[in-house]
Structure 1
Amino acid sequence: MIWLMRMVRWVRRPPSRQYRNMVAIVLVVCAVLFAVERWVGWPDWATAERFRGLPQVAR
């Protein structure tokens, strides 16, 4: 129901051209990053190391 109310608000008062351009640019950047990651692969330098916690101390 909330999404329907938001759509009605957008129909009555559409967003500005600058806002639409910003949203389009963000979507294009996300699509480009997805395509690069999909076809080229994710670089090793951008992969976070898995944190396994503090080492256990032998008693």
Structure 2
Amino acid sequence: MLDPRQLMRAKRWAQNPPSLKRVKLVFAAVALALIIVGLEHFGLWPDWAKAERIPRRF
């Protein structure tokens, strides 16, 4: 079921679409994120750039 807020947002986007610059920025950010995920998945991401979990102490 579609939320009425989503329909209102879609209506606003149809009436006032984002600029080409904004669309390119969003696609570039998504592409960069996918590249990083792919590199990490295949083990090509450097160890110094990986986040290590720090155990919480209570």
RMSD: 2.0
In the alignment, structure 1 residue 47 sits paired with structure 2 residue 51? yes
Alignment of 1:23 with 2:17, yes or no, is no
Kindly tell me: are residues 51 and 21 of structure 1, through their superposed partners in 2, closer, same or farther at Cα, counting changes over 3 Å?
A: same
Deviations 1:12-34 (A, max 9, x none): 11100111111010010011011
The two structures have a TM-score, normalised by structure 2, of 0.72
TM-score normalized by the length of structure 1: 0.71
Number of residues paired by the alignment?
54
Computing the radius of gyration from Cα coordinates, the structure with the larger value is 1
Higher relative CO (Cα under 8 Å, sequence separation at least 6) belongs to 2
Runs of 4+ residues over 3 Å off in structure 1: 41-45
Aligned position for 2:10: 7
Per-residue CA deviation, residues 8-54 of structure 1 (Å, 9 max, x unaligned), is: 11111110011111101001001101111111266543232422416
- Using the aligned pairs only, state the percent identity: 28
